[in-house]
């Protein structure tokens, strides 16, 4: 009976015969829809259904054929100008994007093991994250980097580290992307020499060096030299790679860090393309023909949670870059097409309920794919807490493999083409970005806009506005300001023993210096210094020569610093933006009243210094906190970037502050926070309280409290709540 029943139910259903003629459907027009929609719209006003984005774009609830009727590029094809639908004719139908996971931690040995495992598990390229000491051109034995070695990336001091990093990875077959800007010369030189000693000539190397220094002065701050000599370095690298490394991308013009620092999509798009224009001008000024190098320029976008806007941004980017390059009289198709790498947002990841981040990253990855990226990195769900574990990295990588292998998304080229909404939004995004690009041009170009501080302040204002909307609940972050868990489970994290890594790096450095020919190294470094002084010679060529002889990253950087100097940024902050955007006036006014009461009682306002210690230049959180605290009524000082604990303590004492807020994102908190507390004691100022904000694993809270921290505020903590607690801690300290 069971078998018979099974067979019966497996029979195909009866065929349904449709009528020969299709039914008639009554037509509807926009007026009829408007009338119907008004019945369910808030207050009967369909205008209230519009989404007014931070970019100045209005996204409507309904789009029709009328929205695309007059668009000039809505009927173009992929692989052809203006490349709006993709730089290749077949896109993923021919070959999917490259899965490239960004990673680097601890030692070269450990990072190498990670890369080899990732390549074996489906990764298709290597993307290297360097530690902050390397970014800033310091060797691991430098006293300014005690808390940074091996923490937020791999420590690289010489070509010997590079050889270990790429051991067993065939550099003629595996493309390598390196996120490096400040110490770009010795790092790129180290990669070239490591490949040579692997038997791979320069013309066989493929990959990308970021080499995007302008954005460093706006957001990430891992610069070494001032803007003008830094631009010379950019030009020398473009020149050298165009002539000796034809398969290698000489620059990855990055909007990623701008969005991570707070820029909206239009601002990210405009500033990144304006940076690209500046680099093209720099290369042309060196006497290069635009078609000699333009085909090896690439771009790098952040992909956040604004799904539609991210897709539109990437389509608009290709359109605008083609327009820009035609303005330089570029002729070759490869000079006109924008190629890009994307990375899902790190800022959108939450410490609270972190498994939600898997969903966020998946959505962002799909936006990158629908936007037509050429390679993609997907962040791990635990990166709001600490460095990713092997477990979380596998999930992140498999997210891409599933999209590539299971969904059939790759079978259709630009599936959003023809969408009324997407075509209109693409044009709106292009128009909004172009307006900003023209504003930059009126200022004299991006170098001038960066030098003046204008570009940085635009991004910081956007960041402050965004944070205020989140803190007041107007923008929802699931698990953070809505649908919060009553209890948060601890997530396993990867922890790096910074002391052990630094000791091993110093031992390798000492060994290298004992074995090399010091005279030849000295001559090579002197040649670099002379080239910096005279303007003659190619700095990458000379760096390769020095690195071959076993000069270190720090020595090459120092040789140039003798002439170029080391850049020190102005510490400015925006005011009034956070307060204007904060949409909960009752709680805001209550905290302000408490601060005003303190001022009356004490004869002065509570004074806070916001500090970044070590070589971590990611200052979005620090700047937003400084802005919000100032708007609430605190007196706020901002410490110089890259301070040592001793320098920070001295400034705090000189400015007579009540508290120091240490902003940390690069895992150096267990070294640097106890160090600043000890320094305050040494200098007789242990009445100054220390609080900590940023990426701090909950497992480390007890350690920091025992070290003397009075408050710890992780990602997602509303700034007004943080301010109230800090005020209370100040009251206790002075009681």
Q: Which CA distances in Å does 339 have to 155, 208, 371, 733?
A: 29, 12, 11, 55
Q: Is 256 a catalytic residue?
A: yes
Active site residue 257: yes
Hey, which bits of 323-414 come out as E strands? 340-344, 375-377
Cross-strand partners of 58: 52
Task: From the candidates 161, 212, 616, 637, give the one annotated as an active-site residue.
Answer: 616
Whether residue 244 lies in the annotated active site: no
CA atoms of 21 and 382, how far apart (whole Å): 57
Gap between the terminal Cα atoms of the chain: 86
Q: Is 612 a catalytic residue?
A: yes
Is 296 in contact with 361 (CB distance < 8 Å)?
A: no
Of 83, 102, 115, 713, which residue is the catalytic one? Answer: 102
Kindly give, in sequence order, each residue whose CB lies less than 8 Å from that of residue 6, ignoring residues fewer than 6 positions away: none
d(CA 642, CA 617): 7
Helix and strand totals (H; E) in the chain: 31, 16
Q: Which two tokens stand for residue 533?
A: 């002084």
* Cα 35 from chain centre: 45
How many angstroms separate the CA atoms of 85 and 94, rounded? 15
Tell me which DSSP letter residue 217 carries.
Answer: I
Options 115, 138, 256, 578, the catalytic residue: 256
Catalytic residue among 257, 341, 458, 623: 257
Dihedral-angle region of residue 660 (phi above 0 means left; psi in -120 to 50 means alpha; beta otherwise): beta
| CA dihedral over 425, 430, 433, 434, signed as positive or negative | negative
Q: Which one of 215, 424, 466, 612 is the catalytic residue?
A: 612
Beta strands in 260-383 (DSSP E): 297-303, 340-344, 375-377
Contact between 264 and 220 (Cβ < 8 Å): no
List 277, 458, 573, 618, catalytic entry: 618
Please give the Cα distance from 338 to 334 (Å, whole number).
8
Q: Is 102 a catalytic residue?
A: yes
Radius of gyration, CA atoms only, the chain: 27
What is the residue-wise DSSP string for 494-531? B---HHHHHHHHHHHHHHHHHHS-HHHHHHHHHHHHHH
Parallel/antiparallel/unpaired status of strands 340-344 and 375-377: parallel
Which sequence positions are flagged as catalytic? Answer: 102, 256-257, 612, 616, 618
């Amino acid at each position: 009976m069971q078998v018979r029943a099974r067979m019966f139910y497996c029979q195909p259903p009866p065929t349904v015969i449709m009528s020969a003629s299709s039914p008639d459907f009554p037509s509807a027009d926009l007026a009829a829809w408007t009338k119907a929609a008004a019945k369910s719209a808030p207050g009967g006003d369909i205008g209230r259904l519009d989404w007014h984005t931070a970019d100045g774009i209005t996204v409507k609830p309904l789009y029709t054929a009328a929205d695309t009727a007059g668009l000039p590029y809505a009927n173009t094809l992929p692989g052809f100008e203006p490349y709006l639908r993709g730089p290749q004719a077949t896109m993923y139908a021919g070959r999917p994007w490259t899965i490239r996971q960004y990673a680097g931690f601890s030692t070269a040995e450990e990072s190498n093991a990670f890369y080899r495992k990732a390549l074996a598990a489906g990764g298709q390229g290597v993307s290297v994250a360097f530690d902050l000491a390397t970014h800033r051109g310091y060797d691991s034995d430098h006293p300014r980097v005690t808390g940074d070695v091996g923490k937020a990336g791999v420590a690289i001091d010489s070509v010997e580290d590079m050889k270990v990093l790429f051991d067993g990875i065939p550099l003629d077959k595996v493309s390598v992307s390196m996120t490096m800007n400040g110490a770009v010369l010795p790092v790129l030189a180290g990669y070239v020499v490591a490949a040579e000693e692997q038997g791979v000539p320069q013309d066989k190397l493929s990959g990308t060096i970021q080499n995007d220094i302008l954005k460093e002065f706006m957001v990430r701050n891992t610069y070494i030299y001032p803007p003008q000599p830094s631009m010379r370095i950019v030009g020398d690298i473009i020149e050298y790679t165009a002539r000796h490394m034809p398969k290698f991308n000489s620059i990855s013009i990055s909007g990623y860090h701008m969005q991570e620092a707070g820029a909206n999509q239009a601002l990210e798009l405009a500033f990144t393309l304006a940076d690209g224009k500046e680099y093209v001008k720099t290369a042309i000024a060196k006497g290069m023909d635009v078609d000699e190098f333009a085909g090896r320029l690439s771009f790098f976008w952040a992909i956040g949670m604004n799904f539609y806007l991210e897709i539109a941004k990437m389509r608009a980017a290709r359109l605008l870059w083609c327009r820009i390059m035609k303005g330089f009289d570029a002729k070759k198709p490869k000079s006109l097409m924008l190629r890009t790498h994307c990375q899902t947002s790190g800022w959108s990841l939450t410490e609270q309920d972190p498994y939600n981040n898997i969903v966020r990253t998946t959505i962002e990855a799909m936006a990158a794919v629908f936007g037509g990226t050429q390679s993609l990195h997907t962040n791990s769900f635990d990166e709001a807490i600490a460095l990713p574990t092997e477990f979380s990295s596998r999930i992140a990588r498999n997210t891409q493999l599933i999209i590539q292998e299971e969904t059939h998304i790759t079978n259709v080229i630009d599936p959003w083409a023809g969408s009324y909404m997407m075509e209109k939004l693409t044009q709106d995004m292009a128009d909004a970005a172009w307006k900003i690009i023209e504003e930059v041009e009126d200022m004299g170009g991006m170098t001038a806009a960066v030098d003046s501080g204008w570009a940085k302040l635009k991004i910081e204002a956007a960041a402050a506005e965004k944070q205020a909307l989140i803190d007041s609940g107007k923008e929802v972050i699931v698990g953070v300001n809505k649908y919060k868990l009553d209890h948060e489970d601890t997530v396993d994290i990867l922890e790096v023993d910074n002391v052990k890594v630094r000791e091993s790096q110093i031992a390798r450095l000492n060994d290298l210096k004992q074995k090399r020919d010091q005279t030849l190294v000295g001559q090579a470094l002197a040649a670099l210094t002379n080239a910096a002084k005279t303007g003659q010679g190619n700095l990458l060529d000379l760096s390769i020569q020095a690195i071959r002889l076993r000069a270190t990253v720090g020595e090459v950087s120092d040789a140039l610093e003798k002439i170029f100097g080391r850049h020190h940024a102005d510490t400015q902050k925006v005011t009034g933006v956070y307060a204007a955007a904060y949409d909960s006036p009752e709680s805001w006014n209550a905290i302000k009243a408490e601060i005003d009461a303190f001022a009356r009682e004490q004869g002065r306002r509570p004074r806070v210094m916001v500090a970044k210690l070590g070589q971590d230049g990611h200052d979005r959180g620090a700047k937003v906190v400084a802005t919000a605290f100032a708007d609430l009524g605190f007196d706020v000082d901002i410490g110089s970037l890259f301070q040592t604990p001793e320098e920070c303590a001295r400034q705090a004492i000189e400015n007579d502050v009540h508290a120091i807020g240490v902003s940390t994102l690069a895992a150096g908190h267990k070294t640097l926070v106890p160090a600043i507390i000890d320094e305050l004691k040494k200098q007789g100022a242990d009445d100054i309280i220390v609080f900590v904000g940023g990426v701090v694993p909950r497992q480390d809270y007890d350690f920091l409290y025992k070290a003397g921290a009075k408050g710890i505020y992780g990602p997602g903590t509303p700034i007004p709540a943080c301010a109230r607690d800090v005020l209370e801690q100040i009251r206790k300290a002075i009681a």
